[in-house]
């Protein structure tokens, strides 16, 4: 496992080498074959993932139309992190697009890491705020475009 890989993940990008080492200590490695499900919409969200190798497809099943791919994530991408913060169910499916190696951190390990490392917690939480703000802006832009198109 690699510190440089963690640094690529948006929520850990502000951490220094020592802090990244602490994060790495709680990471576990999981392997998935191509087309294997990482998690399904509606399942409890109890861990986050970082792609070490391969690609993961984030999608939703649309009734009457099938799977709609929302994103294909590559090495260094972090996903599943929102369920760590809000303790909610998964809002999408995550499927290994190719054979993949993922680093995972359980919610309990993540919470312990944040509790005992205030500097790490501060940096990670600010990174999450920026990430959520960015996602909300994209959602607002998409909604604005959708509403504009539906008026005709």
Asked if 58 and 79 count as a contact pair (C-beta separation under 8 A), the reply is yes
pLDDT at site 13: 94
Is the CB of residue 95 less than 8 Å from the CB of residue 38? yes
State whether residue 146 is helix, strand or coil. helix
The string of pLDDT tens digits covering residues 10-19 is: 999 999 999 9
Percent of the chain with pLDDT over 90: 69
Return d(Cα 101, Cα 83) in angstroms, integer: 20
pTM of the model: 0.88
pLDDT-based confidence at residue 151 (cuts at 50, 70, 90):
confident
Confidence grade of residue 56 (pLDDT, cut at 50, 70, 90): very high
Across the strands, what pairs with 105?
48
22-51 average pLDDT score: 95
Beta strands in the chain (DSSP E): 28-32, 37-39, 47-53, 56-62, 66-73, 78-79, 93-96, 100-106
The CATH superfamily label for domain 3-150 reads: Jelly Rolls (2.60.120.10)
């Amino acid at each position: 496992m690699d510190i440089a890989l963690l640094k690529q993940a948006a929520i850990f990008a502000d951490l220094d080498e020592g802090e990244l080492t602490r994060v790495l200590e709680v990471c576990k490695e999981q392997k998935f074959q191509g087309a294997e499900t990482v998690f399904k919409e509606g399942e409890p969200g109890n861990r986050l993932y970082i792609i070490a190798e391969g690609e993961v497809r984030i999608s939703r099943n649309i009734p009457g139309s099938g799977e709609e791919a929302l994103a294909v994530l590559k090495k260094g991408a972090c996903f599943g992190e929102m369920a760590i913060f809000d303790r909610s169910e998964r809002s999408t499916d995550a499927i290994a697009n190719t054979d993949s190696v993922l680093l995972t951190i359980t919610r309990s390990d993540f919470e312990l890491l944040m509790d005992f490392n205030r500097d790490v917690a501060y940096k990670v939480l600010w990174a999450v705020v920026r990430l959520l703000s960015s996602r909300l802006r994209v959602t607002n832009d998409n909604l604005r475009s959708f509403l504009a198109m539906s008026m005709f």
